Every structure is written in C-alpha cells, then in structure tokens.
Amino acid sequence: MDLRINDRIILQAGRFNALIAPLELVLGGINGNPVIGRYTTLLIGGNFSRLLNGITRTSGNFEIRRSFTVHQLLTILREDDHSIVIVEHDPTIYEDAGDAKRVVPPTMKDLARDVLFVLYAPTMDPSFAYLAHTADHLWYYDDGSAPADPGPGNYAVSRARKAGIPGQKTLF
C-alpha cells in the first residue's frame, strides 16, 4: 500500500516516513486520496493542529485523536491498530518532556514496520529534526514560497538566513 501525496511524494508502508511540506499539499493528499477511504486511518494532532480545520473526510475508517503530552502520544502509538497513522508534529508537547522524549523515535520506528506511518510538519524545527533522525525516508518538499520573514516556526530557513545564506534551505 502506498499513499500518494502528489506526483513526487509517494509514502510507503513498512517505513518511517517523515514529511515536511506545505499544509495545502498534505491536505490535498489526505482529502482526495482513495487509499485513506479503504484503510483504517488515524490522524494524531497535538495542542495546535493546522490539519484538523482542513480535513473533509467523512469515512468511518478515518479517526482523529489528540495528544497534549508526550505520554499521551506514546500511549496512542502503542495501542494503535490502524493501517495508516499520520502524526501531525506539534513541538509544544515536547517542551517539558524530559527523558520521555527519547522514547518517541524508537516507538515511531517500531510502529512503522507494520503500518504506513507519517510524521508530518509544515516546517523544520529542532524537535522534528530530533524525531526524524531515525526515519527511513525523509521527504522535504519546497515549492519555492519561503516566507520573506520566516519567523521562529521556520527553523531551517531561519538558521540559513542567520548564517548569512539568503534563500538556502537546509535540513540539519
């Protein structure tokens, strides 16, 4: 089973897929994809979800859960029995996580062996980079529309500009 987000991004089952892409691209891939209607799918959001407002799926196979702490995320992942799991990255749940944060990447990697697993974020930040370091496949989609003022949420662009490299986007 593969999940096609667009012509270039094809996520595969049995792999830990980490995806950085614009929100609209991912929403189009979720809402318009027949694979998601055929398989049981779980979308896990955090404290602040960008995806939830744009989801138009009404299939009985599509479930949404929220995790407000690392411990809740780990519980959801460990108890999961869906065929497709999409975790929308929320850096705020890792702020006070302490040592519990270290358990998340191996848990995601273990779950990804049996399902189509996606860790998604619209931009790179330090906690996403930490979680994705064990990913089997790291997808970085750049449509060339980097914000003029990247702000704190766009970690890769901010670091490149602070280093005096205008316009360069780099995964750290």
Classified as helix, coil or strand, 112 is helix
78 Cβ contact list (under 8 Å, min separation 6)? 107
- Please report whether residue 152 resides in a domain: no
- Please report whether residue 146 resides in a domain: no
Position 171 scores a pLDDT of: 42
Rounded Cα–Cα distance for residues 156 and 136 (Å): 20
Position 150 scores a pLDDT of: 44
Classified as helix, coil or strand, 5 is coil
For 9, the domain range is 2-141
- Please report whether residue 52 resides in a domain: yes
- Please report whether residue 76 resides in a domain: yes
Q: What is the CATH number of the domain that holds 66?
A: 3.40.50.300
Rounded Cα–Cα distance for residues 133 and 146 (Å): 23
- Please report whether residue 160 resides in a domain: no
Position 145 scores a pLDDT of: 57
- Please report whether residue 131 resides in a domain: yes
Place of tokens 């997808």: 139
- Please report whether residue 147 resides in a domain: no
Rounded Cα–Cα distance for residues 116 and 85 (Å): 6
- Please report whether residue 165 resides in a domain: no
Quick check: pTM over 0.85?
Answer: no
Q: Domain count of the chain?
A: 1
Rounded Cα–Cα distance for residues 7 and 95 (Å): 35
pLDDT tens over the chain, length 172 residues: 888 888 888 899 999 999 999 999 999 988 888 888 889 999 999 998 899 889 887 778 899 999 999 999 999 999 999 999 999 999 999 888 888 889 999 999 999 999 999 999 999 999 999 999 999 999 998 766 554 444 444 444 444 444 443 444 444 3
Position 144 scores a pLDDT of: 63
